Structure 1
Amino acid sequence: MKKFITNCIAVSALFLASQQLSAQKVVVGREVETTNDGKMLLGNQLKSKFTEAPYADWYVKEHNEYAMDQKAISELKKDKIGTYNLIVFMGTWCEDSHRDFPRLMKILEEVKYPESKLTIIAVNRKKESPTGDEARYNVQKVPTIIVEKYGKEIGRIVEMPTTGYIERDLVEILKKDDSSVIKEIFGK
């Protein structure tokens, strides 16, 4: 019995040690100073970070001036975009991100998208993040907006929305998801 208890304790200690090693600490709100680009966000970010200097210079203006397609916004609400996860890769040094990231945030505010389902990952000029998520998601360009449901990618917007409006592209992605689920269920 004593040997059994000793073995249980040893196995438990090994298990706990392995858990500690495998638990990856994700730093949120990391900011780095670069020679060419000045301050740059890197890795997982909170939306609030973009309303601070120097990012607010481009974020606030684009956010406030963007005129949304209200029909597409209604569709997003109807299609329950809040049930999907969004992973956004962007660069604080990137002009396309300066344009589309604030627009996306305004759209998400309008549809009351839950911030807990949004992951924002800032990358450097080589499109790298500290956690390496860009490799897992095969991100080549920024911004990249990935729509997921149950851990499965439904669609993505890469660099620029194909319709010219992020909200319209999101509607197209969600509509595609509806038909694929029906096909899976009924095999048609």
Structure 2
Amino acid sequence: MKKFITQIVAVSGLFLASQQLSAQKVVMNREVETQNDGKMLLGNQLKDQFLKAPYADWYVKEHDEYAIDQKAISELRKAKFNTYSLVVFMGTWCEDSHRDFPRLMKILEELKYSDNKLSIIAVNRKKESPTGDEVRYNIQKVPTIIVEKYGKEVGRIIEMPTSGCIERDLVEILKKDDSSVIKEIFSK
């Protein structure tokens, strides 16, 4: 009986180890060639990819020309924005992504936001990625910027910021998150 249990534990351990290894195989910086759109990024990306041709053409210009709202940046710092995680869905073929994604990156640089708290997922025109994350997050439009705390979504910016300014919309998301925590405390 002891031998049987030992074998089960060993097989279970091997199975779990193999599951862990396969779960960690995320292809980064995938680029595809399409008939209609030419080169396109697809799936999980590192921000350095956008400094390469042909993406740098639109990325660098928008990034460098964007004037950050310093008041909103100050509010984001006070609200400890760097403790939140971001999941960004964008399309390298999408004009709204061309405008807002570089702006978001400039905002994150200003906040000294950690790259390991940022997931950038490029989708095709059907809003699909190789990993299917768009289904989990119910992505209908791009760009979509999702703010998470402890793995739970606290808010999102869809297609374009409602205030006209990403950093102001982020401040509003954090304000709503703070007030919901306070309501939870006092409702008990």
- State how far apart, in whole Å, the 1-side matches of 2:172 and 2:5 are: 57
- State how far apart, in whole Å, the 2-side matches of 1:18 and 1:69 are: 48
Q: Alignment partner of 2:157: what SS?
A: strand
Task: Compute the displacement of 1:19 (Å).
Answer: 4.3
2:100 aligned residue = 100
1:4 corresponds to which letter in structure 2?
A: K
1:4 aligned residue = 2
- State how far apart, in whole Å, the 1-side matches of 2:138 and 2:186 are: 31
Task: Compute the displacement of 1:9 (Å).
Answer: 2.4
1:9 corresponds to which letter in structure 2?
A: Q
- State how far apart, in whole Å, the 1-side matches of 2:16 and 2:81 are: 37
Between 176-185 and 10-19, report the one with greater CA deviation.
Answer: 10-19
Between 28-37 and 164-173, report the one with greater CA deviation.
Answer: 28-37
Q: How does 1:19-34 map to 2 (within 5 A)?
A: 19-21=17-19, 23-24=22-23, 25-34=25-34
Q: Alignment partner of 1:62: what SS?
A: helix
Superposed CA RMSD in Å reads 1.4
- The sequence identity of aligned pairs, in percent, is 75
List runs of 5+ in structure 2 lacking aligned partners.
none
- State how far apart, in whole Å, the 2-side matches of 1:27 and 1:36 are: 24
- State how far apart, in whole Å, the 2-side matches of 1:17 and 1:152 are: 29
TM, length-normalised to structure 1: 0.94
- State how far apart, in whole Å, the 1-side matches of 2:13 and 2:130 are: 26
Q: Alignment partner of 1:156: what SS?
A: strand
Between 60-69 and 16-25, report the one with greater CA deviation.
Answer: 16-25
- State how far apart, in whole Å, the 2-side matches of 1:137 and 1:96 are: 19
CA deviations on 1:111-167 (whole Å, 9 max, x unpaired) are: 111111001000011101111110001010000000000111110000000000000
Q: Alignment partner of 2:170: what SS?
A: helix
2:184 aligned residue = 184
- State how far apart, in whole Å, the 1-side matches of 2:80 and 2:179 are: 15
1:81 corresponds to which letter in structure 2?
A: F
2:175 aligned residue = 175
1:165 aligned residue = 165
TM, length-normalised to structure 2: 0.94
- State how far apart, in whole Å, the 2-side matches of 1:115 and 1:7 are: 44
Alignment pair present for 1:13 and 2:11:
yes
CA deviations on 1:61-113 (whole Å, 9 max, x unpaired) are: 00000011111111111111100000000000100000000000000000111
- State how far apart, in whole Å, the 2-side matches of 1:12 and 1:125 are: 46
- State how far apart, in whole Å, the 2-side matches of 1:161 and 1:128 are: 22
Runs of 4+ displaced beyond 3 Å: none
- State how far apart, in whole Å, the 2-side matches of 1:157 and 1:8 are: 51
Q: Alignment partner of 1:154: what SS?
A: strand
2:63 aligned residue = 63
List runs of 5+ in structure 1 lacking aligned partners.
none
- State how far apart, in whole Å, the 1-side matches of 2:99 and 2:137 are: 22
- State how far apart, in whole Å, the 1-side matches of 2:33 and 2:4 are: 51
Task: Compute the displacement of 1:13 (Å).
Answer: 1.7
